[in-house]
Amino acid sequence: VTALATSVTGRVVAAADEYGTLNIWKRGANAGSTQQQLSAPITCLAISADERLLVVGLVAVNGLEHPAKVQIWNIAGSDPPRMIKELATAGGVLTCAISPNGKQFAYSENANVVVRDLETPDEQLAMLNSNVQVPRRVAFANGTAPYRVGISTSPDKDNATYDRVFDTETRQLLPAADVADLTWTDSRAAKGDWSVRPEQVENDVAYSLFQGDARRGRLTVRLKDHGAIVSACWLADAQGSPRAVAVGTNGNNNIYVFGLQQEGYCPLLRQFRGHGAPVTSLSASSDGRYLASSSLDGTVAVWKLEDFATEDLLGNHWGISLSTEAGQATLAAVRSDGPLYFRGLRRGDVIRRITVVGEQNGRPQLDVIETPAEIIQALSAAKQDQQIAFEAVRGRTPLKAFQSFPAWHPVASLFVNEDREWAYWTPAGYYDASFAGHQLFGWQVNRGLNLAPDFFLAAQVRQILERPELMSRLLRVGSIDDAFQEARNDGPANESSLLSQTHRLQPAVVVTSPAPGAEVRDGIVTVEATVTVPSGERLVPPKAYANGVVALQRELVQQTNDGGRQVLRYRWQVPLPAEPRVLIQVAAATENEVGGLASVTVDQVARRPLRRLPRMYIVSAGINDYRDGRVPDLTFAVNNAREFARTLKDRSGKLYETRAVSFFDRAVTRSAWNAALQEFAQQLNQDIEPDDL
């Protein structure tokens, strides 16, 4: 089941699956059920409040030939459902909704949201842009050092222009002048006369390799279990002949590397897991060490290919070798870039037992395996999407049990937005980012059963996790652990626990008043919040904001201790800007610069009249002529600074009383700039309103 929706009354239920089957059940006066077979897998459903209309989202099939779609169905009464409108979309549709009044509907289109009128759906009412350009193609630049990754947002497979090129060593997007002479690796260069083709098998689709028109080995990829193969990259041996193929899917969004074989099932040499949406393209580096992938989740990932054709099954599945000396399954070697190293296992640790899902009399059952030989056999024979539970010891100390797939994590992931802001991070959490890149990504932390997960931005833990000296070395040395060693810095004992450990250092913020959706009036609101500070951490005084306007009055109401943690209750009187919807935020941080944030949205129903017109304070500077001969002079800077201030002043006359100061050329000094800011600060201290800018 890929989509599920109910009407407000619960009288209508709709459900769909990945094969395009749409079922609708009704109870009450129009009781009954119907089934429709649609042309593509269904991703989302929404039923109008009057139970008259159903919005359906469908995935793209074969790319541009059959794009993603949104359909509107009439499901009123007891008549069979009838499609009344179909709209092709410019990107993938993952979710949809109908407004409570039944007049508009909205759906996601790649990373954007489209709003349309239900009665006249050809009319687009709004497009909410997210500043995300989905990478459609990815390629490595030819050459080995440094590794450069090109990104194209064009879906054209044959004429991709890599307009965003990221240098993984300098950690910067290259300017256009430096990109012009680069050439790119071709995912089809080692293809020869080989190809991957789908085949109908019973009620499923399977995939096989063909050499010319001759059918060769089969791949253990099925449409029902793994999704369709939507991208491929052919991998060459030392002589340039095809040796293996990497394929990307659109179901579980994994990447599989298969060895080429004349008959039977092709060996699975490596499995990569980490994308959250279909894998749009794949590319191998010139030296064969890395595979890059792009995905509709907006990211590019880099995966380790090194030694994939020479490892045994244990090495390819888990990145380990095991010894049975002393009657124990002892780790003789653990690759620092492998799945089990990431989960904290090290050389010399002993795997005491594993638990796998087996089968008895056609029914699944949990099999607990404890003997060393059986552990090795089970881990070697692990299926590509089989999750296994591990229990291990280090010396006499039990390690925390965990579950893992026989799948490798990306070495690094990259995100670049439309403004060329970027973030480049590892699964462990270490990262580097552009000036505003820290605000572009973060991590979900699962807190346990029956507890909502938490999420924190990289900006909240910047001092701990931002490590440019590691990220510059990462692809050259091959793993974050090796980067630590080269940087002569001790790495974390367990990479997989770094984020949860960092999260535990975060102050927990809860806004206790006002309640979400509360109505406030008179241009001011009392905000109360509790801040819980982890043991051993010191809190920087927290701040409260209303639509970004900081509250100036803070009162510590109560301070208690809870098991070594400080619990502090604060109160603010927050002046409100003249806007009907107000986002109240409370931000707290420790002296280690680990931050916590909580927010509620309230409605301002009775705003007091403005005492005066809001004021806009502008400071601008422009320098054309530099005294330092090593700095090239500019042509337009002075005029731009002058026109910037003038334009704001001219265009905002009915909204703001504008006060501007501009400096040009030799008048631009630190003392002059500071003096202007101090003068503005004095004016603001004497008379300030929340709508001043």
The three-state (H, E, C) secondary structure of 225-270, written as one string: HHCCEEEEEEEECCCCCEEEEEEEECCCCCEEEEECCCCCECCEEE
The pLDDT, as a whole number, for residue 63 is 47
**pLDDT of amino acid 265:** 94
**Mean pLDDT computed over 208-212:** 96
Q: How far is CA 158 from the centre of its chain?
A: 27
Residues in Cβ contact with 250 at an 8 Å cutoff, skipping those fewer than 6 apart: 59, 227, 228, 230, 278, 279
Mean pLDDT value of segment 390-418: 95
pLDDT single digits (tens) 395-406: 999 999 999 999
pLDDT of residue 552: 80
The SS3 of residue 502 is helix
- Predicted local confidence at residue 650, as pLDDT: 92
Which amino acid is present at 661? V
CATH class of the domain defined by 508-606: mainly beta
User: Measured between alpha carbons, how far is 268 from 651 in angstroms, rounded to an integer?
Assistant: 64
Three-point CA angle 99, 278, 209, nearest 5° = 145
Handedness of CA 461, 465, 468, 472 (dihedral sign): negative
Look at residue 250 in the predicted model and tell me its pLDDT. Answer: 86
pLDDT band of residue 461 (cuts 50, 70, 90) is confident
Model confidence at 146: pLDDT above 50: yes
Q: For the chain, give every domain's residue range.
A: 3-128, 131-310, 313-404, 424-501, 508-606, 615-686
pLDDT at residue 198 is higher than 50? yes
For 383, residues 6+ apart whose C-beta sits below 8 A from its C-beta are 406
Is the pLDDT reported for residue 586 higher than 60?
Answer: yes
Task: List, in order, residues 6 or more apart from 691 with CB less than 8 Å away.
Answer: 577, 578, 610, 614
Q: Is the pLDDT of residue 65 over 70?
A: no
Which CATH entry fits the domain spanning 313-404: 3.40.50.150, 2.30.42.10, 3.40.50.1980, 3.40.50.720?
2.30.42.10
Buried b (16+ CB within 10 A) or exposed e, 613-646: ebbbbbbbbbbeeeeeeeeeeeeebbeebeeebe
Q: Which two tokens stand for residue 619?
A: 């400071």
Mean predicted lDDT score pLDDT of the chain: 91
pLDDT of 61 over the 80 cut: no
3-state helix, strand, coil in the chain (%, to 5): 15, 45, 40
Rounded Cα–Cα distance for residues 506 and 533 (Å):
7
Mean pLDDT throughout 499-522? 90
pLDDT band at 78 (very low <50, low <70, confident <90, very high): confident
Overall residue count recorded for the chain in this entry:
693
Helix (H, G, I), strand (E, B) or coil at 474: helix
Instruction: State the Cα–Cα distance between residues 542 and 524, nearest whole angstrom.
Output: 19
Backbone angles phi, psi at 464, to 5 degrees: -85, -40
Tokens 């938490």 correspond to: 454
**Sequence-ordered strand ranges (E) for 496-608:** 508-513, 519-521, 524-533, 539-546, 549-550, 553-562, 565-575, 581-590, 595-606
H/E element holding 389? strand 388-394
Q: Which pLDDT score is estimated for 269? A: 94
Please tell me if the domain spanning 3-128 has the same topology as the one spanning 313-404. Answer: no
- Do residues 181 and 198 make contact, with C-beta atoms less than 8 angstroms apart? no
**What pLDDT does 64 receive?**
46
Is the pLDDT reported for residue 62 higher than 90?
Answer: no
Distance CA 363, CA 633 (A): 77
Question: According to the model, what pLDDT value does residue 230 have?
Answer: 93
Q: Which residues contact 488 (CB under 8 A, 6 or more apart)?
A: none
The per-residue pLDDT for range 479-505, each reduced to its tens digit, is 998 999 888 876 655 666 788 788 888
DSSP string, 279-315: EEEEEE-TTSSEEEEEETTS-EEEEE-TTTTT--HHH
- Mean pLDDT on 325-351: 94
pTM for the structure as a whole: 0.81
Mean pLDDT of 123-146: 89
Residue 289 pLDDT > 70: yes
Q: Is the dihedral angle over the CA atoms 168, 171, 173, 174 positive or is it negative?
A: negative
Superfamily covering domain 3-128: YVTN repeat-like/Quinoprotein amine dehydrogenase (2.130.10.10)
Strands 69-74 and 53-58: antiparallel
Percent of the chain with pLDDT over 70: 98
Calpha distance 241→210 (Å, rounded): 15
Query: Both tokens of residue 584?
Result: 């109240």
Whether the per-residue pLDDT at 227 is higher than 90: the answer is no
Residues 23, 37 contacting (CB under 8 angstroms): no
Concatenate the DSSP letters of all residues of 433-446 into one string.
E-TTGGGS-EEEE-
